[in-house]
Amino acid sequence: MNRRAVLALSTALMLSACGFQLRGSNGQARLPFKTIYIGTAETSPLGIELRRYIRASGDTTVVTDQKQAEATIEVLNEVREKATLTLNTQGRVREYSLYYRVKFRVKDGKEKELLAPTELILKRDISFNESQVIAKEKEEEMLYRDMQSDVVQQILRRLTALKA
């Protein structure tokens, strides 16, 4: 055997011996709750994505009645902002900064706070071209969806770290 094969095999053996295991095929770790309530509107894109990822994560059930839940995710604030980043020599916008801010907290079934209000702020820069307005609007929508997915992943990572 060559040196790389031996190194790869020994690394795999050490990782399996220490109890390390990969997350599921969808990249999700198990949540420490059997039931969870998500405090967003049913039509909220953030809420829809959170529900989908939690359902896919395994044993946790998303409930529609907060009284039945072991934990509640309350989305306190969700804001999308657009700020001018740079201007060209004619004073026209050249680039924008897109911000996506979400503030949430997690409580248990007895209203005890498991995770204090936490604000997640994501930023993406986007160039602007007056001759491609529609394409740039679509790119902006895509960047906001990407930031929303990032926020969902960050929320789920924080949930997996909580103790039920």
End-to-end alpha carbon distance in the chain: 47
Give residue 16's pLDDT. Answer: 64
Helical (H) or strand (E) element with 38: strand 35-39
Give residue 164's pLDDT. Answer: 55
CB 71 within 8 A of CB 37: yes
**Separation between Cα atoms, residue 157 and residue 39, nearest integer Å:** 18
Give residue 26's pLDDT. Answer: 47
Give residue 25's pLDDT. Answer: 45
* DSSP state, residue 30: P
Residue owning tokens 């939690």? 54
Backbone torsions φ then ψ of 122, nearest 5 degrees: -115, 145
Domains of the chain (ranges; CATH) run 23-161 (3.30.160.150)
Query: Interhelix angle for 133-161 vs 45-56, to 10°?
Result: 50
Give residue 1's pLDDT. Answer: 60
* Sites in the chain below the pLDDT cut of 50: 20, 23-26
